[in-house]
Chain A
Amino acid sequence: MSTNGAKPKLAMYWAASCGGCEIATLNIGEHILTVDQVFDLAFFPCIADFKVSDVEGYPDGYIDLCLFNGAIRSSENEHMAHLLRRKSKILVAFGSCAYEGCIPALANLTSRQAVLRTVYLDNPSLDNPSGVLPQTTTPAPEGELTLPAFYHTVKTLDQVVDVDYYVPGCPPESHQIWAVLQTVVAALTEGAPLPPKGTILGAGQVAVCEECPLARHEKTIPRFYRPYEIVPKPGLCLLEQGLVCLGPATVCGCGALCPRVGMGCRGCYGPLPGVVDQGARILTALASVIDVTGKPGDNEEELARRVQDAVSTIPDPAGLFYYFSMAHSLLHRARVADNQ
């Protein structure tokens, strides 16, 4: 894909994200030298001084590979998504935020107003006596100052632009990032075929449980525990000890890092192939381990109460089921009173 024998161009940009994806990318160790050998950096605000005007000056399709991480939370994020789409041959939704919304998209459970109120007015460590809120335009002696508009609904990258590939994970594991880079490098330098558009790169095909070394038995539980409530027995499946683990409904690729150290999977690698809504699969997985059953003639109200008691040990179902996938889910946001 490179022209005139020049090195292919690499870009990495962050929208609404934490910067963890950049750290994970730089964490590929000595392979970073190979990346430097193969690519020229075209845009990478985290590690090199590029300006947006540099990108604007590039011809369309100038960047060979753009790793776009972060969700679309503001008009600036969306503007950069459109710009980088135009300037890039391959645009990758890199990491859980760009792919599914991730933690920023949990704000879809509330409203723009409530977020601004919490951050700028109700925050206990805040001193804002005149209740100043960010404005998109502010008159100043020097002229009009502008800020990007803050969206009511956090979106994924593919909800605003066309995306070529997805790399899941919060953040993607470094060895997976290296594998993805190798795939693209082989295509760019040796003419190897690229995977079909829309492919999820850097993940497996089966559930996290398949990579998890903890011993599992067919066992049901009367209730769930939160991580601070019990100390898990080592070597034993967390779910059968009552600790919420989303491994059964999450695709592998991470090496089951969290369950290995006693913390239940939270689903950052996204759904298994063919699944439309990861939250629904998580719900089903958790419902199937609850041990409430009955026999003919049982009082139905009593039975319903027992089921409700068991499910009420999950205090925040929406936040748990859509920990990482709210923006990409079927409902994609909550219906709230001040919906603006």
Chain B
Amino acid sequence: MSESERFEPLIIGFTCNWCSYRAADLAGTSRMKYPPNVRLIRLMCSGRLDPTFVLKALANGADGVLITGCHPGECHYLEQNYKAMRRYYLLRAMLTQMGIEPERVRLVWASAAEGARFAEEVTRMVEDVRRLGPLNWPAIAADGAEPAASRNGHGPAAAAETAPVVPEEAKP
């Protein structure tokens, strides 16, 4: 598979205003490189993250969701990141039952000083999701059979519903 045919995952990243967004900012001002696959959405706090946001992203074309926040104990709003954490583990258990691999939804803590860590985690997540292949969550079909959506132009959803497609260059 050539470079231009490589599957580029679309990842929605939620950052908190006080730590992880600053970490992303630091990564940028320090000119650190990380893949451009993540679209960041800044929230005031990881505790603001309604699981609906994650479900909506996955149902509407995202291949993965990255949730980031301040390290435990360092939340600007004292303990809202503990709430985010409790939701995250419940959400992950639920998504596994829905057939969504746990690697597609990740929780990462990053302080305002951890630009390098932020870039590293984004890189790792993009590669993990690239290995899993497109999610292509099916829309409601007219006749009970699921349609073959192909947002990425990487073949029908049926491919993603059986075995994940592993691109050659992603193999170790």
Q: Is the CB of A335 within 8 A of B93?
A: no
**Interface size for chain B: under 10, 10 to 19, 20 to 34, or 35 or more residues?**
35 or more
Taking the closest CB of chain B, its distance from the CB of A189, in whole angstroms, is: 38
Q: Is the CB of A296 within 8 A of B161?
A: no
Interface string of B129-165 (1 = CB under 8 A from A): 0000000011011011110000000000010111000
Interface string of B27-40 (1 = CB under 8 A from A): 00000000000000
Taking the closest CB of chain A, its distance from the CB of B81, in whole angstroms, is: 10
In the complex, whether A38 has a CB less than 8 A from a CB of chain B is no
The 8 Å CB contact of B86, one of A295, A307, A331, A333, is A307
Q: Is the CB of B52 within 8 A of A280?
A: yes
The 8 Å CB contact of A303, one of B56, B72, B100, is B72
In the complex, whether B1 has a CB less than 8 A from a CB of chain A is no
The 8 Å CB contact of A300, one of B50, B72, B93, is B72
Q: A270-304: which residues lie under 8 A (CB-CB) from chain B?
A: 276-277, 279-281, 283-284, 286-288, 290, 292-298, 300, 303-304
In the complex, whether A174 has a CB less than 8 A from a CB of chain B is no
CA distance A281 to B90 in the complex (A): 12
Taking the closest CB of chain A, its distance from the CB of B61, in whole angstroms, is: 12
In the complex, whether A329 has a CB less than 8 A from a CB of chain B is yes
CA distance A45 to B72 in the complex (A): 59
Chain A CB within 10 A, most for which of B56, B58, B87, B141: B87
Q: Is the CB of A336 within 8 A of B85?
A: no
**Interface size for chain A: under 10, 10 to 19, 20 to 34, or 35 or more residues?**
35 or more
Q: Is the CB of A340 within 8 A of B72?
A: no
Q: Is the CB of A296 within 8 A of B73?
A: yes
In the complex, whether A50 has a CB less than 8 A from a CB of chain B is no
The 8 Å CB contact of A284, one of B71, B87, B144, B146, is B87
* Complex interface: chain A residues within 8 A of B71 (CB): 300
* Complex interface: chain A residues within 8 A of B98 (CB): 109, 318, 331, 333-335
Q: Is the CB of B50 within 8 A of A280?
A: yes
A-B contact count (CB 8 A): 123
* Complex interface: chain B residues within 8 A of A292 (CB): 82, 85-86
For residue A326, which residue of chain B has the nearest CB? B98
The 8 Å CB contact of A318, one of B52, B83, B94, B140, is B94
Binds B, one of A115-123, A175-183, A308-316: A308-316
Q: Is the CB of B140 within 8 A of A330?
A: no
Q: Is the CB of A307 within 8 A of B85?
A: yes
Taking the closest CB of chain A, its distance from the CB of B145, in whole angstroms, is: 7
CA distance A327 to B52 in the complex (A): 15
CA distance A276 to B51 in the complex (A): 11
Q: Is the CB of A294 within 8 A of B94?
A: no
Q: A234-286: which residues lie under 8 A (CB-CB) from chain B?
A: 276-277, 279-281, 283-284, 286
In the complex, whether B91 has a CB less than 8 A from a CB of chain A is yes
10 pairs from A and B in contact (CB 8 Å cutoff): A151-B143, A151-B144, A284-B87, A292-B86, A300-B71, A300-B109, A318-B98, A330-B55, A331-B137, A334-B98
Please list the residues of chain B having a beta carbon within 8 angstroms of any beta carbon in chain A.
Answer: 50-52, 55-56, 58-59, 71-74, 79, 82-83, 85-87, 89-91, 93-94, 97-100, 109, 137-138, 140-141, 143-146, 158, 160-162
Q: Which 10 A-B pairs have the closest CB atoms?
A: A335-B99, A296-B73, A151-B144, A318-B97, A287-B86, A317-B94, A280-B51, A280-B52, A330-B55, A287-B87
